[in-house]
């Protein structure tokens, strides 16, 4: 299942702060590329965890419904709204592979 969640990215000194309002996710990255990857990973993790617990994964809001001025990090500076795409099925396959590999090296 591929979904695009709106996320607010805010430059704050040396890092980029990220909020994904639909999922209550807060994360950060070293730069914009890293922040997008961190957001994608956090969305994927939260989505498959919710699925595993038989919880309904919230639908993504329309990007025009998100107010960047009302975000958690609004006081840190102007936010940029970006739709971050995640394929939960592909993420699960990748995560399951990483889990297997990681456990095999312990």
The domains of the chain are located at 2-104
CA dist 79 to 14, 72, 88, Å? 15, 10, 26
Residue 105: pLDDT over 60: no
Which among 3, 93, 64 has a CA at the least distance from the CA of 39? Answer: 3
Residue 10 is inside which H or E element, if any?
A: strand 2-12
pLDDT surpassing 60 at residue 106: no
Inter-helix orientation angle 88-104/32-52, to 10°:
90
CATH topology assigned to domain 2-104: Double Stranded RNA Binding Domain (3.30.160)
For residue 95, the model assigns a pLDDT of: 77
What is the structure's pLDDT at 94?
86
Q: Is the pLDDT of residue 46 over 90?
A: yes
**pLDDT digit string, tens, across residues 73-104:** 999 999 999 999 999 999 898 877 665 555 44
Structure tokens at 89: 């099925």
Assess whether pLDDT exceeds 70 at residue 66: yes
């Amino acid at each position: 299942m591929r979904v695009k969640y709106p996320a607010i990215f805010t430059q704050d000194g040396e890092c980029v702060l990220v909020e994904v309002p639909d999922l209550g996710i807060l994360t950060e990255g070293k730069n914009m590329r890293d922040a997008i990857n961190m957001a994608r990973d956090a969305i994927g993790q939260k989505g498959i965890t919710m699925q595993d617990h038989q919880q309904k994964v919230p639908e993504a809001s329309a990007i025009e419904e998100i107010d960047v001025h009302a975000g958690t990090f609004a006081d840190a500076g102007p936010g940029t709204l970006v739709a971050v795409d995640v394929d939960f099925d592909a993420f699960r396959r990748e995560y399951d592979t990483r889990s297997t590999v990681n456990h095999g090296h312990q």
